[in-house]
Amino acid sequence: MNGARSRNERRKWARLPLAIPVFVRSRDGKGKEFLEFATSLNVSAGGMLVAIRRTLPAVAQIRLEIPSAPVAAMALLPRAARTLNAKTLRTTPADGYYLLGLKFARPLALAEKPSLRRRKLLSKL
């Protein structure tokens, strides 16, 4: 396609096929809060496709929490998003799971270049 988008393609960002473990926090159809462990199937700067065991109401508000190990040196690294707010755009049943098409409240931004001071600190490690 020479880098051109097809007429039917509406996505602004490329999707990456990344299986990332995530905790999904939201409310079910009765308004009861829940927390469920799920897995992403693909990720883009604008959203994520997540496989989850329960169905959610249309346009549900969701908080995604990405588990990570605490590392002291992370304080020197650029801040990484570990909690993301999103909303459900679509839900598709699939073999005992539901595939949630999610749109992030704010698109993910590329990490800024580390400052000169930060680079010097990192080079000493």
Per-residue confidence (pLDDT) for residue 1, from 0 to 100? 42
Rounded CA separation 72/120 (Å) = 17
Exposure b/e, 61-74, CB count within 10 A at least 16 = b: ebebeeeeeeeeee
Q: pLDDT tens digit string along 57-115?
A: 878 999 999 987 766 556 666 656 588 999 999 999 999 999 999 999 999 875 445 55
Task: Please give the residue range of the domain that contains residue 25.
Answer: 21-124
Q: What is the pTM of this model?
A: 0.72
Whole-number percent of the chain with pLDDT over 90: 53
In a domain, 96, yes or no: yes
In a domain, 7, yes or no: no
Per-residue confidence (pLDDT) for residue 108, from 0 to 100? 86
In a domain, 12, yes or no: no
In a domain, 10, yes or no: no
CATH no. for residue 33?
A: 2.30.110
In a domain, 110, yes or no: yes
In a domain, 45, yes or no: yes
Range with the lowest mean pLDDT among 9-23, 27-41, 72-86?
72-86
Task: Tally the C-alpha atoms within 13 A of residue 84's C-alpha that lie toward its C-beta.
Answer: 27
In a domain, 2, yes or no: no
In a domain, 13, yes or no: no
Q: How many domains does the chain have?
A: 1
